[in-house]
Amino acid sequence: MQKGDVLFCQNQTTSGLYRVVSGCVTLQRTGLGGDTLTLHRAVSGGLFAEASVFSETYHCDAICTEAGSVIKIAKADVKATMQSNPAFCEGFTRLLAVQVQQYRAHIELLAIPSAKERILAAVQAGYFDATVTELATRINLSHEACYRALRGLCDDGRMIRVGRGKYTLS
């Protein structure tokens, strides 16, 4: 896949889930105002579109944000393996349970009203592993608000700018 390739779109009929072999894929949804929200970021070794196994349509867009490759696993194969292999079924269920916990923690992060405090929490949670713009979409801030908050955090001495678009905690 090349950067910008679309694997599937919201409301498209589901056909399976995916594993990232290399590169990066983000699951995104565009709001009514045109803003993009990143729902999930899958990197090498990660899965995405797990809910497609039990859904008729995809609930978001999957966009390649870093060139690489993915493996598609047909939902019929996943369901058949779940029925015939209890260990696989338990492992898949555990994976989904961990994701529920992660999404609940993400909701808590998004509930932080201060942009500065939300960014600090996101950095501590390991969210800042790409661009400032991508961080902004992951934590539901405009990229302008994200840059302003980062500048404010640097001015406050809580973060240090170490390069263009690169920051670290003080």
**Is 164 domain-assigned?**
yes
Domain holding 154, by residue range, is 115-169
Radius of gyration of the chain from its Cα atoms, rounded to whole angstroms: 18
Instruction: Compute the distance between CA of residue 69 and CA of residue 53 in angstroms, rounded to an integer.
Output: 21
What amino acid is encoded at 138 in this protein? R
For the residues of 123-164, what is the DSSP string, one character each?
HHTT--SS-HHHHHHHTT--HHHHHHHHHHHHHTTSEEEEET
Structure tokens at 18: 């995916």
Same domain, yes or no: 28 and 72: yes
- Is residue 64 within 8 Å of residue 28, measured between CB atoms? no
Q: Is residue 105 domain-resident?
A: no
Residue 38 lies in a domain: yes
In a domain, 108, yes or no: no
Give me the torsion for CA of 101, 142, 66, 99, rounded to 10°.
Answer: 10
157 assigned to some structural domain: yes
Q: Would 27 be classed as within a structural domain?
A: yes
Predicted local distance difference test score (pLDDT) of residue 56: 96
Domain of 121, CATH number, reads: 1.10.10.10
| 66 and 128 belong to one structural domain | no
101 domain residue, yes or no? no
Residue position matching structure tokens 């998004």: 110
In this structure, the answer to whether residues 119 and 81 fall within a common structural domain is: no
Mark which of 85, 107, 137 sits at the end of a domain: 85
| Segments of the chain with pLDDT less than 70 | none
Count: domains in the chain: 2
Shared domain for 119 and 76, answered yes or no, is: no
Helix (H, G, I), strand (E, B) or coil at 43: strand
Q: How far apart are CA 88 and CA 44, in angstroms?
A: 21
Q: Are residues 14 and 80 in the same domain?
A: yes
Note whether residue 78 is domain-resident: yes
Pick the last residue of a domain from 47, 69, 85. Answer: 85
First vs last C-alpha separation in the chain: 37
CATH of the domain at 78: 2.60.120.10
pLDDT for 77 equals 96
